[in-house]
Amino acid sequence: MKIILTSPFDPVSEREMEYIRQYRKTHGLRDIWLSVDEEGILDHDTRVALLKKAAAYDRRLHICETSETGEAIEPLDEDTIRKGLYRLAAKGIRKDLITEGYYLDETAKAMCNPHRYAHSKSVAQTAVKLAHAHHMDEKKAYVMGMLHDITKAFSDEQNEQIIRLYKPEWLSLSPKVWHSYTAVIFAKQNMSLTEGDIAYAMEHHTIGDGNTDYAALLYIADKIEPLRGYDVSKQTASAMKNLKKAAFEIREESKAYILKTEGIHV
C-alpha cells in the first residue's frame, strides 16, 4: 500500500523528519511517500527540491513531484524557522536556506520594527544593484542587506551580554556599534551562516572600516538606500564606478558630520 503524508513543508523541519521516521516505524512500513501542499511562501518546486535534499539520506523516503492527496501532517516548527531559527530546519537544508536567502523577508519582519524592516529590505535591494554593477554575487549582497541590522531591536543589555562573551574588545565602543557583531553571532548560531564575506561585511557595516569589496558594498548600501530620505545621487554615482573609493568618501563625509554635530573625532 502506498502511504502518502502531506504537509506544506515550508520548509521541512528536523522534527517533521523525526515524525516521519517514527510514523514509518509504528506503521511497519518499508517505504513512505511525502507530498508537498500547493500553497506556501516558497513556491512548490522549491519546497519539493528542499524536501528531496532533506530526505536524500534514505532511499525508502520518496517525494511526489506534484501535490497528491494523503494523510495531512501538522507542520512542526515551520513558522519558527521562517522567523529566523533555521537551525530547526531539517539537517540537510539549513545551509540552503541562508545561502539562497529563503525566508529572510519573514525573518526581518519578525525581528525588526516596521521601519527597520523597510530599511533592511531597501539596503538589500540597493546592495543587489551595486553587486550587479560590479559583477559580484547578488545573493550574498541580498543576504547581507537583509541581515545587517537583525539584532538592532535587542536592548543594549542583550547586545552587551553577547559582546562581553564574543567580542570583549568592543565593550569600549559605542553601544550603537554592537549590533554589527551581535547580528553576525545571531546569524551564525541560529541561521547556519558560515559565509565569510557576509559575516565580515556585517561586522564592519556601522563604522565602515572593512577592507573587502563586500564590506564596502554593504557600508555604502546602508548609507545610500533610498528610504534614508536625503540626496545621495553623488554618492550613488561614485559607488557605481568604484566601491572602495566611494566607501572612503562616504566615511570621510560621515566623520566630518559627526565632528560638526557632536564634536567627536571618529
Residues found near Fe ion in the complex (CB under 5 A): 149, 222
For the CB of residue 126, give the shortest distance to Fe ion in the complex, in Å: 11
For the CB of residue 149, give the shortest distance to Fe ion in the complex, in Å: 4
Residue with cell 517514527: 22
238-258 CB burial, b ≥16 within 10 A, e <16? bbeeebbebbebbbeeeeeee
Q: Looking at beta carbons only, is 65 or 156 nearer to Fe ion?
A: 156
Distance CA 57, CA 45 (A): 20
Q: Looking at beta carbons only, is 10 or 222 nearer to Fe ion?
A: 222
For the CB of residue 204, give the shortest distance to Fe ion in the complex, in Å: 11
- Are 118 and 32 in contact by the 8 Å Cβ rule? The answer is no
For the CB of residue 82, give the shortest distance to Fe ion in the complex, in Å: 22
Q: Looking at beta carbons only, is 182 or 190 nearer to Fe ion?
A: 182
HEC string of 150-173 equals CCCCCCHHHHHHHHHHHCHHHCCC
For the CB of residue 265, give the shortest distance to Fe ion in the complex, in Å: 21
- CA dist 149 → 177, 194, 228 (Å): 10, 17, 15
Number of H helices, E strands in the chain: 13, 4
For the CB of residue 246, give the shortest distance to Fe ion in the complex, in Å: 17
**DSSP per position, 95-132:** HHHHHHTTTHHHHHHHHS-HHHHHHHHHHHHHHHHHHH
Distance CA 224, CA 245 (A): 15
Q: Looking at beta carbons only, is 30 or 115 nearer to Fe ion?
A: 115
Q: Looking at beta carbons only, is 49 or 118 nearer to Fe ion?
A: 118
Q: What are the cell numbers at 191?
A: 541561521
Q: Looking at beta carbons only, is 17 or 221 nearer to Fe ion?
A: 221
